[in-house]
Chain A
Amino acid sequence: DTTVKQNPRYKLARVGKPVNLICSQTMNHDTMYWYQKKPNQAPKLLLFYYDKILNREADTFEKFQSSRPNNSFCSLYIGSAGLEYSAMYLCASSSRRGGNTLYFGEGSRLIVV
């Protein structure tokens, strides 16, 4: 069963307020990812954890934080939301043993006002 769960599915946030998005997977995958998806744009990789090692993209390094307290769980944290953060946030997981196919959750739609 390929199951990646995200919470919340929808989030309305005020400018300047923090946002915390949560992802869990039950497949014992070694890698978990966060992508940002805006309309008519390609999904953009924000960061990923390989086991406990965090890899962040250079252009989003200071905007997003993440934690992975255990293999199944990964969060995405925005300290101070801006209007430009409005997007769909997609969590995915993969396993090197499984060929690294990405399995996505249903996404968390964030609207910042």
Chain B
Amino acid sequence: AQRVTQVQPTGSSQWGEEVTLDCSYETSEYFYRIFWYRQLFSGEMVFLIYQPSFDTQNQRSGRYSVVFQKSFKSISLVISASQPEDSGTYFCALSELNTGYQNFYFGKGTSLTVIP
């Protein structure tokens, strides 16, 4: 069964706009983390940001932030002032303490195109 769901297979935005990418997940654990990665066209997956389950504050890192809705088991990645270089496929991933945070369950990704 799919543990992480990204319902938007594709998305687009205009240069400078704010972009929101959605992710939902399934877990019965109290301690877990949600990660966001971007896959470059070369294939490399680049770490962007992560949200620990016990932290009620939405995490921020540069132009990336998340909107964490723990009770709904959903999390959105927000990219401010999007740029063409932000184009790529964005993956959400769940990692749980009961596996030592070593098992990552990935979603299928959202392919984002930022139009110049």
Is A69 engaged at the interface, CB distance under 8 Å to the other chain? no
Contact-residue bracket for chain B: 20 to 34
Give the interface segment out of B13-21, B63-71, B77-85, B95-103: B95-103
Is B47 engaged at the interface, CB distance under 8 Å to the other chain? yes
Contact-residue bracket for chain A: 20 to 34
Tell which of A45, A55, A90, A99 touches B101, judged by Cβ atoms closer than 8 Å: A99
A94–B102 contact, CB under 8 A?
yes
Complex CA distance for A25 and B93, rounded to whole angstroms: 22
Complex CA distance for A99 and B95, rounded to whole angstroms: 11
A42–B109 contact, CB under 8 A?
yes
With a cutoff of 8 Å between Cβ atoms, the chain A residues found around residue B9 in the complex are: 40
Complex CA distance for A103 and B44, rounded to whole angstroms: 9
Tell which of A31, A100, A101, A106 touches B43, judged by Cβ atoms closer than 8 Å: A106
The 9 A-B pairs at the shortest CB distance, nearest first, are namely: A107-B43, A104-B45, A100-B101, A42-B106, A106-B44, A43-B106, A42-B108, A88-B43, A106-B42
